[in-house]
A and B are shown apart, each in its own frame.
Chain A
Amino acid sequence: MARLIRRMALAVGAAGLVAAVLRLRGKGGTPPTGGGWRELTGPDLR
């Protein structure tokens, strides 16, 4: 039982470590989350 718990803790810890690395180092191109819409005008359409 103790071995099972140790293995589970190890698996959770490893997954957490990988997730943390991906979260901090990942380059997924975070989409804009603030700001607003601006109409495309002359210079944008050249």
Chain B
Amino acid sequence: MRAAIIGAGAVGARAARQLTATPDVGSLVIRDADEERARTVAAAMGPPAEADGGSGAEGLDVDVAVVTTPAGGHAELARRLLEAGAHVVSVSDDIDDVRGLLALDAEARERDRCVLAGAGFSPGMSCLLAAHAAARFDEVDEIHVARAGTGGPACARQHHQALAGHALDWRDGAWSRRMGGSGRELCWFPEPVRGRDCYRAALPDGLLLVPAFPGVERVTARLAANRRDRLSARLPMLRRPHPEGRVGAVRVEVRGRRGSTRDVVVLGAVDLPAVAAGAVAAVTAVEAAAGRCTSPGAAGLARSCDVLPVLTELARRGVRAAAFEGSRTD
């Protein structure tokens, strides 16, 4: 299997580590706008990783490409990669990127290739958890996603912008735009993150989850933030983001009907967001290249992947999911 990683930042380096450790991967090309960084990452990984000095999709001949560049331009890059005959895995959590990637569905089907949109921690792991939880229901009514923490600096900038943007909530068969930073909700994540206030934000999870669960009535996504984050969201970032964020988490609450009863399943995962995103991107890239996606086209992981093998492989690689087991109050 020939793979490529475009973008050698915090997530790209982790995805490269995971792909290098995958026996099926015979060659791994690493590219970055900063050639020196691509060479450094490739040298740190060792064979089969190599930096070829190219940029974007130019002259790339691979089975699968993982796009881990900062948000923006993923759709155009994915289109070029499709033209080059590669499956595409994107980790972008930008709404415009995800919309653009999903719009490549017809082209991907025509070329018999997969475009996996939102294949990071959230969206990504969150979509896998939603699909896994949904399998326990006869009918899914609501899906609520929350995430805490950021990966590298690009992820921190995206977090900052998301709080200043407009959230997309799916409600009764229609999208509603809500102000980012509104709708505070206390969400409980797995240890050690625990309880965090989460707010609406410009997150693409709904765009990926709604097509995967026809008939779902409500889908929302929230982002953990503090008062300073909310206050400064509409200003330029006051200070340079950290090279790597602290431990983060995702939490997915699925409500639905099982037989004649209604129930709630809450699943979550905790890890360094860049590490988890890199692992999800790498594992799903291998699935795509091996022809194990459910069908060609552009979709999120809840619709395009066989969830159980992916979650099992992620657990083997150290990205473990957890279930919240609470006592019922009704």
Residue ranges of A at the interface with B (Cβ–Cβ < 8 Å): 27-40, 44-46
Task: Choose one: B190, B191, B320, B327; the contact of A35 (CB below 8 Å).
Answer: B327
Contact B322 A33 (CB under 8 A): no
Q: Nearest-CB distance from B30 to chain A (Å)?
A: 31
Q: Give the distance in Å from the alpha carbon of A38 to the alpha carbon of B270 in the complex.
A: 12
Q: Give the distance in Å from the alpha carbon of A34 to the alpha carbon of B325 in the complex.
A: 8
Q: List 27 A-B contacts (CB under 8 A).
A: A28-B262, A29-B263, A29-B264, A30-B264, A30-B330, A32-B264, A32-B266, A32-B325, A32-B326, A32-B327, A33-B326, A33-B327, A33-B329, A34-B326, A34-B327, A35-B325, A35-B327, A37-B268, A37-B323, A38-B322, A39-B320, A39-B321, A40-B267, A40-B321, A44-B323, A45-B312, A46-B308
Q: Nearest-CB distance from A22 to chain B (Å)?
A: 13
In the complex, chain A residues whose CB is within 8 Å of the CB of B328: 30, 32
Indicate whether B324 reaches chain A with its CB closer than 8 angstroms: yes
4 interchain residue pairs of minimum CB distance: A32-B326, A35-B326, A29-B262, A37-B322
In the complex, chain A residues whose CB is within 8 Å of the CB of B330: 30
In the complex, chain B residues whose CB is within 8 Å of the CB of A38: 322-325
Closest to A31 in B: B264
Within 8 A of A (CB), among B282-330: 308, 311-312, 315, 320-330
Q: A33-B329, A34-B327, A38-B325 are in contact. List 8 more A-B contacts (CB 8 A).
A: A29-B264, A31-B266, A34-B326, A35-B325, A37-B323, A40-B315, A40-B322, A44-B323
Contact A27 B322 (CB under 8 A): no
Contact A29 B268 (CB under 8 A): no
Task: Choose one: A27, A36, A45, A46; the contact of B262 (CB below 8 Å).
Answer: A27
In the complex, chain B residues whose CB is within 8 Å of the CB of A44: 323
Q: Nearest-CB distance from B312 to chain A (Å)?
A: 5
Which residue of A29, A37, A40, A45 has the most chain B CB atoms within 10 A of its CB atom?
A: A37
Contact A39 B322 (CB under 8 A): yes
Closest to B320 in A: A39
Indicate whether B31 reaches chain A with its CB closer than 8 angstroms: no
Indicate whether B93 reaches chain A with its CB closer than 8 angstroms: no
Contact A35 B324 (CB under 8 A): yes
